[in-house]
Amino acid sequence: MREIRVGLIGFGTVGSGTAEVLRLQRERLQRKTGADVRLHRVADIAIEQLPPEFAEVELTRDADEVVAAPDIDIVVELIGGIEPAKTFILKAIAAGKHVVTANKALISQHGREIFAAAAAANVEVGFEASVGGGIPVIKALKEGLVANRIESIIGIMNGTANYILNRMTDEGLDFNTVLKDAQAHGYAEADPTYDVEGIDTAHKLVILMSMAYGVHLRLDQVSTEGISNIEPVDIEFAREFGYRIKLLAISRNHGDSFEARVHPTMVPNQELLANIGGAFNAIQFTGDMVDDVLLYGQGAGKMPTGSAVVADIVDIARNILNGAINRVPSLSYLPENLREAVITPLASLRCPYYFRVTVQDKPGVLSAITGILGRHGISIQSVLQQGREEKGVVPVMMRAYEAEEEAVRAALKEIDALEVCAAPTVKIRIMEDE
């Protein structure tokens, strides 16, 4: 039986999970591929020895030993970040190795260079684990939905943000309290910026849009807002009017341009996305042939993500065995058919809105605010005012009918400039009627 030898760079959470999946499923993978797909060498600078069950696996502190080793067929990069991960991957490709990675930041920002290098070297790059953890999102988009024009992508793509928002909603806790608890339990990083400010989600949206529409897209083309300004009062308003707040990635296909945005959204309770709990992810594609397809599951974690990494390893192993390298292009579209993405300006977006204006509790304040909104063509559907806080400050929550983003920005800038305004106005877009 032929061996397909895997070299692993990084034996952290996902790396050790990948190794465990390969070990536990070794016999099953033999029956499915006709080859012995096994871990042969590991590079990691932080460990002195591998667990006893990996006694036959060679350990090194030098990743170049994995990259250059002539007996390695597939190099798996699981250290994350841009460098030195990018250098290791490009070296592996230059050495004629196939590559698998879970590195969404790298693929979203440097995928174009990596895929071009792989095509030139006639090797493959697998990146299933870069989006959705254990959910087979990439394969579904690359192959399962290949006959569809993708009309939209809407999803919850960050488990940490979803966990925080769910606990705020279900337990009435504030953002900072939940974040600290999430960090203590390992659900959030010590520096949670990428998760809570939407950057991690934006990385994933770039990858999915590139595949869905056949475009080259930059991270800075995605309008990105996070959840750190969400307060219990916003959660309570959403609940009262039949919504739950979710951090959504949203893209819509307008033919000659595409929406690309990540932001908190009030989602109607009856929508499936409103009911995604815990740290789970859910991604909905809408195709012109299939209509809506929702993929749901664990978006992170040692074994789910390891499962996705091994799925790529097996795909590549099968292609090696059958002489079918690059049978499916990395981004589903042939490289020569990829085009530059044109992004629909966020300023032209029209949807209903929620506003939380924090003002001094004085006569005439509410009429001044509604007057400004009215001058910008923004009509208010409902208003809710909470009790007075310290120093006579009161939050006023408003639900607006559909309005244009550009008008909303101008109105809120004018409102925030009022002397009675005690803090920047918080706005949250509402999903329905977008």
- Point out the annotated binding site for NADPH: 104
State how far the Cα of 274 lies from the Cα of 50, in Å rounded to an integer.
42
Annotated binding site for NADP(+): 9-16
Q: CB neighbours of 351 closer than 8 A, spacing ≥ 6?
A: 402, 403, 405, 429, 430, 431, 433, 434
The residue written with tokens 């006893």 in the block is: 52
The residue written with tokens 């590195």 in the block is: 103
Asked about 204 being catalytic, the answer comes back as yes
Residue 64 has a CB neighbour count (10 Å cut-off) of 16
Give the residues across from 62 on adjacent strands.
none
**Candidate list 86, 142, 204, 427, residue with the active-site label:** 204
DSSP conformation letters of 105-153? HHHHHHHHHHHHHHHHHT--EE-GGGSSTTS-HHHIIIIITTTS-EEEE
| Alpha carbon 266 to its chain's center | 18
Q: At what angle do helices 159-171 and 175-184 cross, to 10 degrees?
A: 130
Task: Say how many CA atoms lie within 13 Å of 192 toward its Cβ.
Answer: 23
Q: Which positions are annotated as active-site residues?
A: 204
